[in-house]
A and B are shown apart, each in its own frame.
Chain A
Amino acid sequence: MYLRLIAATLCLAAPLSAQDIGTVPEPKLLSHFPLGGQQGTTFDLEVTGAALQGAQTVWFEGGELSASILKLEKLQATSEEKDKKPEDYLGKAVKADHRAVLQIRIPKTATLGLHLFRLVTPRGLSNALGLQVVSDPIVSETDRPHQAAEDAQYLSVPAVVNGRLSEKGQRDFYAFRVSQGEELLFAVRSDLGPSRTYQAQAGITLYQRSDSWFDPSRVVRLAVKGPALTWEPFQRYERTRSTGRFALSQRVSHRFESSGRYFLSVGTFTGTGDPNHGYQLRIVRRRSPQARQVLGRLAHPEPGDWLERDSATLRQLGSFQRPLQSNRLALLQHRSGRVPFSGKLAVPTEPVAAQGNSSTPSPARDSRIEPAPEVEPNNSLDRSGTVQIPGLIEGRIQTPGDVDLFRFRAEAGQKLAFEIETPGDSPPHFNPWLKLLDGSGNELVSNIYMEYGGDGDDVNKTVERKTIFTIEQSGSYFLRIRDLTSVQGGPRFRYRLLARPQVPHLGRVEISLGVTPSLSTLIDKTDRINLEAGQAKEMVVVCEKEEGFQGNVLLTVDNLPPGVQAWVSTAAGWTETLMRGIQYRPLGVEVVSPDHHRPQRSATTVVVWASPDTPITGSPRFLQLMARPVVDGRVGPALPAGRIPFLAVRPPEETPVMTSSR
């Protein structure tokens, strides 16, 4: 398998490398410190990066914060750094050659959360880094070493600390006191550059004193609930910068059985560390208002995200927790293309009902599906609950091995969709296993999907949040749901199960997918567009067509500056599509039809072109990609499909080499 993996890696990596040859490097931010600040404060922030020469301004995407550049200096690479091997996910060397000091101003009214910022240079916009705005005062990490419990820095709860993991193997120790029964929430966050994997994210370990016969001062780790490692969904802006793995626990909630002095350490799983490795640590009481603040959550999330399915990078993560609301059918209908184009850019606050003739059964325009709770016992065919079509059940896997069954009636030819939401806990912890059974209890289909994955010839199974099926014979059917394992259950194993008619519609639309050298991991390569006059840049846009949607998709790029145009170019071919790893390949694709779980995908190239007379843009702006379903000659509503910051820049020879200072 591994030989095949290597061979495939070489084959796939080559075109990408060729594509990047000869391009002028764009400005890139690699690290910053501190990672955040308190509302109503002003402080200095240090950033490092590459190709930052001539940086002029700092651009906050949300617009609430402001900053000025106090200092910009070029860094001399040490001989050790020169010899360092490339660590970028694309195999390119990314080394900091500039350091800047910014003065950050956070208004008192600034939204709590992560604020994205970029540097604006003559060569264009940099990638984004995040600055966490918190409500509590921030404590500075002590200057003295505190890598052992006996040297721990004392914190009084609540506390927010900006710290650094400056050396390899470093673990920073902090001490705190608790009362008996007190429950604290610990969180830590790193924001690392492209050269780091997710394993380098800082994590938390809790300790208590041990009274060891060998060394009475020794501390031992506390056994805490929760997974040993965390898998975090990436913010969209982060996808260019990580291979997406795991970290030591970044959020830990613990109830202390005894009062006293305890300890925590901040470190990384692989023990990496360097002067640019900053972290922000926060300790709050579990029941305090601050506990609702989540480190790393964007203060200004991108509007219009359609979480039918997350990006292929994290194919399912999060999608089981998208809300199945009462107006679910109307929302889907809105994306079906059966609504005339209204000419508006923004997402309608209220979905518009479908119009015109359709062969697909349509729900009433104001149909709402009210949830109904499951009634136990319902764990066998003869004691099953019932559900109407459409119907929404709220249930729970109460104990390990609990099985819930629901009976419904369906007619021959009826096209049905079954969707699951898991609001309490989601995969990989709660993995709902849904089966559709005929009246005799024989399985017709389940929500386990098999596809080629890994290096292309392995088969992966996934648990799907939606399963579609066409009924062949009128009669009674059953939905059977349980956890994938027979050893889990409890209060967090809640599910909402929606049984409804299929609604062919436009699903998720994604921009600029690429493929990493490790294959099968899709990431957004493009998080910004910097164009010189006369240059063009391509984006590949992948559209997902759900539940048999047969229409076309009209793609437009809005908010273009003067002189810049966007055109839909040739469709990305099958080979290219496959190479980019975006084509689902169900097991036995030739014989398994239709696919009960995955949409059909198509890839289109959109070219953004700055005409030769394009003026330099003074400040960045977002290009807004809109997708409109087109069915039966009608254009549906405009659906926001993503936005990309844009800057028109000077050619390299015109770029002034300058260094600003205070």
Chain B
Amino acid sequence: MLLRTAYQSLAKTLAILVICLGWNPGLAHSQETAASPALLSLRIVPEEIHLSGLNPSQQVLVLGRYSDGLERDLTGSAPLVLGSAEMAAIEDQGRLTALAEGSTTLQAHVADQSARAMLTVRSLATGPPFSFQHEIGGILTKRGCNDSGCHAGVKGRGGFKLSLNALDPKEDYRWIVNGGTYQVMSLESAGPETPRIDLSQPENSLLLRKPTLILPHGGGERLTTESSDYRTLLDWIQSGAPYERKDSEVAVEQVTLFPRERVLDAKGTHQVLVTAHLADGRTRDLTHLASYQSSNQEVVTVTDSGRVRARTAGETTIIVRTAGHTVSARFGVISEPLQANPSPPPHNFIDEYVFGKLSRFQIPASPLSSDAEFLRRVCLDLTGTLPPPGRAREFIASQDPQKRTKLIDALLDSPEYVDYWTFRFGRLFRVAAGAVGGAEHAYTYWRWMWQNIAQNNSYREIALERLAAQGYGGASRHFLSYGEEAKAEDIMPEEVRVFLGRRLDCAQCHDHPYEQWSQDQFWGLASFFGQISRTEWTGFGAAVLFDDPAGRQPDFGESAETVKVIHPRRKQLVKPAFLDGQAIASAGKGHPRREFARWVTAHPYFAETLVNRMWGFLFGRGLVDPVDDFRSTNPPTHPGLLQALAEDCRLHGYDLKQILRRITRSRTYQLASTPRESNRQDALNYSHFIPKPLEAEVLLDAISQVTGVPEIFENGQGGQAPLGTRAIQLEVPDIYPSDFLQMYGRPNLLQVPEIKASPSLNQALHMLVGTTYTEKISKKGGRLDQLMQRDASHREVIQELYLAALSRLPAPPELAELESVLGQSSDKKRAWEDLTWSLITSREFAFNH
């Protein structure tokens, strides 16, 4: 271990110089702010209102478009006037309740602007029949009773279980009307069954006495006896607590919000409209029957009635739950509107979406990156490799206007691209000895991965092959766990997570507490993997995977029956079924995983998950982030862009290189990492490139590359990887223990990796005295040794090291200062070593920016 004692002060000086003079992510020029905006136009939402049934009502909004580009909610301050006042009553906040049948106009006036909508009221006396899901379930949802933290928790609460957001109204009805205690592993009720309603004395029903705190209630007061919801519940019990007629059930197919996206100024408020789309084609306003939640109350708050209020600048989502659905709307808050919005001209549709949102959210984009910044960024992103100094000089000096495009193509055609993306997908696919039960399996799996990347095979074909893999080689190794076949309930959630970006794990034991995934859906999907079995050939090494209708390999003490996929609550054999419950006809006879693979790869989720993952690779965060956690409560930042990328991906045959080419050619990707004053806080809208730490393997390779000293990877079997093997080239990485990689975040591949790089004290100490940072610098035969042999000047060394480590030449002040500092040293070699150390421990080096 080299202790940098006598040279620490010089090293420190150099480090400060490198940090201060070099990469300086300072602020770009701030933007001018705008003057007070003028109202340009007015509109009413919805423009056409159709009401029918018993006591129908509709939330109405009055919106004004202003000269600063914002649309503001003026409901409440803009009086609404009916053409026929007797047709409906209008509350202050814009809720309109029908009183008589007919048609009329609804008008609003603000300053010199006016707007108009049409109101039609029909069949007031013969509305739709009572619906438990809509009426009672709506109240339970709105009041938070069926929230995951309350009675919709895994086991319910206080012996009372409800489904999340009234997702399963029949179950809810059963628990309310019959009572009983929910059991996770059984359909049977545990303990005595005490109904939550009392038909003989409705006011004594637990369903009313608990939330009104007449009886003690752990969830506190949720209703008052004066509220309309209390009245509705009491009426329902008094009328015999009906469910609804089977033939009159009208399912809520979809719930939509207005607005989906909205920018508020610092004092802005906005009402959310919630509309249910019924299976019979009608719509229904559920604004008053929904539960609202802000994902970030620092940015906006939301009232129980759905009014959003700005707090501080930023962006977040409002989560709305109702009628078994969870939907979200995105709200941004700006401090002051901007006068100018200097985005670069769009290069492709990515820029149109990104710059469009930047414009709507009034966030300026940073300028395009310099050639040097782009060069380093794209080399690291596409190949995990720093550009050699000679190539860096050449690229920076080139006057070719197409040089960036040409560089992208050259990188995508390079073997380094194959190395790096084999490594990346190998990690995602968990190519590791520990994961598949042996180095031999992992190597076979790795080579399959490598071949697919080298031949740029369609990702759809890759997914099809892996999901349906059988036999002895390649992807079939994925289904081995410790050398034995993985169990259906373990492998299915991984496949869904990797290829569809959804996490179903929770639904294995119970309906998902936060999402709509049910336990039945989980086991129906898992059952596709229930026939995976293997024959052994020569010990552990030559397992042949196949789908055996008799089920997987029994373990000790298991019978032929227990190896099949049995629903843990229903205790029944589960047939393979897709998410919509549809079973495959060929179950048990053919190759169910192939059916599953076809379904997965044809599903819209498949393409959006892939493009989101690739986007996440390049930008450090996905449009949905984490990249494999799509859910209603975690919506995309740019839904339109996500769909457009997915469509583009489908059109180009799921070509990985094409996705990378499309993104890296965009101006969005090529923006500078230096923020402007007014976009510094933006972490979601790609107004500037946000630096991301190098992955452990890439960092180690980069240090080896700059120092010119390859890493030696020894394995536990008395051997080592061929000299010159890079960390990203290790075929079976986990047989090569590495303190450095461990310290910098090498993931455990026993499960789908989640890498969140965070600096640690260990890393800091390793930078100071660790062998990776110290020994390589002074090693004979390394870069510095060669420069010494060449008798290079200080200037040559500084320039070479800057190009090697940072892919740029030092700025003139940097060069001058460094030459001066190096010139004062009596030991040239030590001074150069200190400069190298300063460079490879700098943030500019350790980050891709």
Binding site for B on A (CB under 8 A): 1, 87, 147-148, 168-171, 197, 199-200, 210, 212-215, 218, 220, 223, 227-229, 231, 244-246, 265, 267-273, 313-317, 427-429, 431, 433, 448, 450, 453-454, 457-463, 484-488, 520-521, 587
Contact = CB atoms under 8 A, between A and B. Distances in A.
Nearest to A248: B443
Given A269-B443, A461-B533, 6 more contacts: A213-B410, A270-B439, A270-B735, A272-B719, A428-B542, A484-B535
A220 B444 contact: no
Interface stretch (B243-251, B343-351, B464-472, B659-667): B464-472
B725 to A, nearest CB: 8
Contacts of B101: none
A214 B416 contact: yes
Given A213-B414, A269-B443, A169 B722 contact: yes
Given A428-B542, A486-B591, A227 B719 contact: no
A459 B553 contact: yes
A432 to B, nearest CB: 11
Contacts of A171: 722
Interface string B428-459: 00000000000110011001100100110000
Interface centre among A1, A210, A428 (most CB of B within 10 A): A428
Contacts of B448: 228
10 contacts: A169-B720, A213-B411, A246-B541, A267-B722, A270-B719, A316-B538, A457-B555, A457-B556, A486-B547, A488-B471
B608 interface: no
Interface string B162-188: 000000000000000000000000000
B429 to A, nearest CB: 15
B455 A428 contact: no
Given A223-B451, A245-B440, A168 B537 contact: no
A228 B444 contact: yes
Given A147-B722, A461-B536, A213 B391 contact: yes
A487 B468 contact: yes
Given A212-B416, A486-B590, A229 B715 contact: no
B541 to A, nearest CB: 5
Given A244-B538, A431-B535, A168 B720 contact: yes
Interface stretch (B66-74, B381-389, B646-654): B381-389
Nearest to B410: A213
A168 B542 contact: no
B782 interface: no
Interface string B524-535: 000000000111
A459 B555 contact: yes
A579 B556 CA distance: 19
Given A215-B388, A227-B473, A462-B536, A271 B555 contact: no
Contacts of B474: 228
B721 interface: yes
Nearest to B557: A457
A231 B541 contact: yes
B536 A270 contact: no
Contacts of A520: 539
A169 B721 contact: yes
B723 A246 contact: no
Contacts of A270: 439, 715, 717-719, 735
B544 interface: yes
Contacts of A316: 537-538
B472 A227 contact: yes
Contact of B718 (A246, A272, A450, A461): A272
A462 B391 CA distance: 56
Contacts of B538: 231, 244, 313-317
A213 B416 CA distance: 9
Contact of B439 (A147, A269, A461): A269
Contacts of B415: 210, 212, 218, 220
B475 to A, nearest CB: 11
Contacts of A168: 714, 718-720
B410 A587 contact: no
A179 to B, nearest CB: 24
Interface residues of B, number: 68
B555 A458 contact: yes
A453 B544 contact: no
B664 to A, nearest CB: 15
A431 B546 contact: yes
A214 B391 contact: yes
Interface string B735-754: 10000000000000000000
Interface in B389-419: 391, 407, 410-411, 413-416, 418
Contacts of B482: 1
Contacts of B590: 486
B265 interface: no
B712 interface: yes
A171 B410 CA distance: 29
Output the residue of B385, B540, B544 with the most chain A CB within 10 A. B544
A580 B700 CA distance: 48
B83 interface: no
B388 A214 contact: yes
B591 A229 contact: no
B484 interface: yes
Contacts of B443: 228-229, 269
B719 A484 contact: no
Given A214-B383, A271-B715, A448 B535 contact: yes
A270 B553 CA distance: 30
B447 to A, nearest CB: 4
A273 B719 contact: yes
B581 interface: no
B470 A486 contact: yes
A549 B440 CA distance: 40
B640 interface: no
Nearest to A455: B556
B586 to A, nearest CB: 11
Contacts of A271: 715, 719-722
B463 to A, nearest CB: 15
Contacts of A521: 539
Contacts of A245: 440, 539, 541
Instruction: List the 10 shortest-distance A-B pairs measured between CB atoms, nearest first.
Output: A271-B719, A485-B470, A457-B556, A272-B719, A169-B720, A270-B719, A428-B472, A228-B447, A213-B410, A220-B415
A200 to B, nearest CB: 8
Contacts of B158: none
Contacts of A315: 538
Nearest to A451: B536
B388 A487 contact: no
Interface in B694-731: 712, 714-715, 717-725
Nearest to B454: A223
B128 interface: no
A7 to B, nearest CB: 14
Contacts of B547: 486
B722 A485 contact: no
A488 B718 CA distance: 37
A442 to B, nearest CB: 13
B554 interface: yes
Among the interface residues B542, B590, B594, which one has the most CB atoms of the partner chain A within 10 A?
Answer: B542
A587 B554 contact: yes
Nearest to B720: A169
Nearest to B476: A485
Of B414, B536, B712, B715, most buried by chain A (CB within 10 Å of CB) is B536
A317 to B, nearest CB: 6
Nearest to A313: B538
A197 B717 CA distance: 10
Contacts of A268: 719
Contacts of B548: 448, 461
B537 A427 contact: yes
A484 B720 contact: no
Contact of A487 (B418, B470, B554, B715): B470
